[in-house]
Chain A
Amino acid sequence: MVNIRVIPRLDIKGPNLVKGIHLEGLRVLGRPEDFAQYYYEQGADELMYVDVVASLYERNSLHDIISKTARRTFIPLTVGGGIRTIDDIKSVLRAGADKVSLNTAAVRNPTIIREASRKFGSSTIVVAIEAIKQPDGKYLAYVDNGREHTGIEVLSWAKKVEELGAGELIVTSVDNEGTGTGYNIELTKLIAENVSIPVIAHGGPGTLKDFGTVLKDGKADALSVASVLHYDYIKKIEHTMHHRTEGNIEFLKSNRSFQKINPTGITEIKQYLLSNFYECRH
């Protein structure tokens, strides 16, 4: 009845698609628009771009990537990273994005959520929550790609964000991100069970069963997927003559420290969901 969305997440630095572990140690994988196009053709339900360095000097290349993608892919595109003001939101939407994701700006000035959801519609405003588990078991929200501590407890933050008018939440476990050890079920469940807006789980999937677990036990509404898809696409294109990607993919061949990530395509993820009685567009 409710269709689970599979949302490829593409972290961008300048003109490149990058991927790290724990949101750090970024490696260049290739051109984001090529990956986005491929995921679209494979049945991605939405796309998400995140400008991970969010340097204002690099904005032109981000807008260029958004605009190219929006002209070729007719599914919702969310853009995040470095969006601080209503004007920033407007310019990203004008470049062709459908939604924006806010983190740092929302933490520093929560009223931007209300203002933006009023002006652009709640459904346009996604709030990103990046959480790190503390020694006492609490989850606290971080900003600037998990680098800066805010001292805010994630559940109260999630509820406040919902009240301010956010349309969706993307919840990242910084601890699990890029590791392939699975989504953080405890964190996802904590938030998904206590808000009425959709929760997109992010960070950690390495194998197919991780998707089932975060839906069943974590109560997620949608799946953000990065490494497993990117590595799958790279594996497929490295054999072709038209491999234009100039990324640093040597690390994938060396097969070190990535044993936990099984490259998997969108079609396989959806087949897995369907065979486990989850509905999805197929």
Chain B
Amino acid sequence: MQALEMKKKVVIIDYDLGNLFSVKLACESVGLNVEISGDKKIIKNADAVILPGVGSFGDAMNNLKQLDLISSLQDFALSGKPLMGVCLGMQLLFTSSEEFGNTQGLNLISGEIRKLRSTIDSPVKVPQIGWNTITSSKVPWLQTPLKNTPANSYMYFVHSFYAAPVNDAVTLTITKYGDNEYCSAIFKDNIFATQFHPEKSTETGVKIYKEWALMNNLI
């Protein structure tokens, strides 16, 4: 009983957008104790937070605002506790997005969100839906949740926009799609985020949740 109470709790942020259940299933499969919640108090007391999301940046920020979660998430990140973003959840961590003019994000990572390009020389469908590879950047993966992920692993992507960090030092992986060569994962102090969906990327992806959990003593 005591062991159960001691177990670290990870909160998956529910802001009424997209599907949180596959993230939950993947987390549970690696032994994480997860709760889906949009309650400020529960988030504050969490040992770690995962910000998932699919859909539009503007809708997501509106929902976070309406649920009064913007400062909760910013405070959580400043507390130094682990924060993981997935897909739109990674994009929301940035300063702003060019979607619908210019929408402000959580501003935890400096940079902006831009639309994927399709060019005459390299025509691609946007959104990108499907598998693509992640290659290493200048930042070594050894001290990150990707430490056991082979370079050039295939990951599952679903997105029309990508993150362009101001500082290269946060870029953990690079992905190419048509004419676009973009940052597909970031790592900065307690913040880790992926544009791809590790929970939909076979055991190779699920292992990333496991490494993140181990690194942060969550399991």
Q: Does B17 contact A (CB under 8 A)?
A: yes
Q: How many residues does chain A have at the interface if contact means C-beta atoms less than 8 Å apart?
A: 31
Residue-wise, chain A 72-83 has the 8 Å CB interface mask toward B (1 for contact) of 001110000000
A-B contact pairs, 20 of them (CB 8 A): A2-B125, A3-B130, A3-B154, A74-B29, A74-B206, A75-B156, A76-B197, A96-B22, A96-B25, A119-B17, A121-B17, A121-B19, A124-B19, A124-B54, A167-B127, A196-B118, A198-B129, A198-B130, A221-B129, A221-B130
Q: How far is the CB of A3 from chain B (nearest CB, A)?
A: 5
Q: In the complex the two chains form, what is the Cα distance from A70 to B90 in whole Å? A: 24
Within 8 A of B (CB), among A1-32: 1-3, 5
Q: Does B81 contact A (CB under 8 A)?
A: no
Q: For chain A, residues 72 to 107, give those with C-beta under 8 angstroms from any C-beta of chain B.
A: 74-76, 93-94, 96, 98
Main secondary structure of the interface of B (DSSP, over half): mixed
- Top 9 nearest A-B pairs (CB, nearest first) are A121-B54, A121-B55, A281-B131, A123-B158, A281-B154, A3-B131, A93-B19, A5-B130, A121-B18
Interface bits B79-116 vs A (CB < 8 Å: 1, else 0)? 00000000010000000000000000000000000000
Closest to A72 in B: B29
Contact with B along A259-282 (1 / 0, CB 8 A): 000000000000000000000110
Chain B residues with Cβ below 8 Å from A71 are 25, 29
Chain A residues near B191 (CB-CB < 8 A): none
Q: Chain A residues near B156 (CB, 8 Å)?
A: 75-76
**Quick check: is A188 within 8 A (CB to CB) of the other chain?**
no
Q: Is the CB of A120 within 8 A of B19?
A: yes
A123 touches B129 (CB 8 A): yes
Q: How far apart are A160's CB and chain B's nearest CB, in angstroms?
A: 18
Q: Does A33 have its Cβ within 8 Å of any Cβ on chain B?
A: no
- Kindly state whether residue A249 has any CB partner on chain B within 8 Å: no
Q: Does B211 contact A (CB under 8 A)?
A: no
A residues near B21, Cβ cutoff 8 Å: 70, 93-94, 96
Interface residues of B in 127-144 (CB under 8 A from A): 127, 129-132
Interface residues on B, range: 35 or more
User: A118 CA to B58 CA in the complex, in Å?
Assistant: 11
Shortest CB-to-CB span from A206 to chain B, Å, is: 25
Q: Which of A's residues lie within 8 Å of B, judged by CB? A: 1-3, 5, 40, 45, 70-71, 74-76, 93-94, 96, 98, 118-124, 167-168, 196-198, 221-222, 280-281
A88 to B83, CA, bound (A): 32
User: Once the chains bind, are B22 and A98 in contact (CB under 8 Å)?
Assistant: yes
Question: At the interface, yes or no: B5 with Cβ under 8 Å from chain A?
Answer: no
In Å, the complex CA distance between A22 and B139 comes to 53
The answer on a CB contact under 8 Å between A75 and B200 is: yes
Instruction: Report B145-167 residues with CB < 8 Å from chain A CB.
Output: 154, 156, 158-159
Establish whether residues A74 and B203, one from each chain, have CB atoms under 8 Å apart when the complex forms: yes
Would you call B203 and A124 a contact (CB within 8 A)?
A: no
Residue among A40, A71, A74, A281 with the highest chain B CB neighbour number at 10 A:
A74
What is the bound-complex CA distance between A40 and B202, given in angstroms?
Answer: 8
Contact assessment for B19 and A168 in the assembled complex, using a CB-CB cutoff below 8 Å = no
Cα(A123)–Cα(B56), bound, Å: 11
Which residues on A sit within 8 Å (CB–CB) of B66?
none
Contacts of A280 in B (CB 8 A): 131
Q: If the complex has contacts A96-B22, A122-B55, A123-B54, are A74 and B205 also in contact, measured as CB distance less than 8 A?
A: yes
Given contacts A74-B201, A74-B206, contact A122 B127 (CB under 8 A): yes
Query: Using Cβ atoms and an 8 Å threshold, which residues of chain A touch B126?
Result: 196
Q: Which residues of A contact B200 (CB under 8 A)?
A: 74-76, 98
Q: Chain B residues near A93 (CB, 8 Å)? A: 19, 21
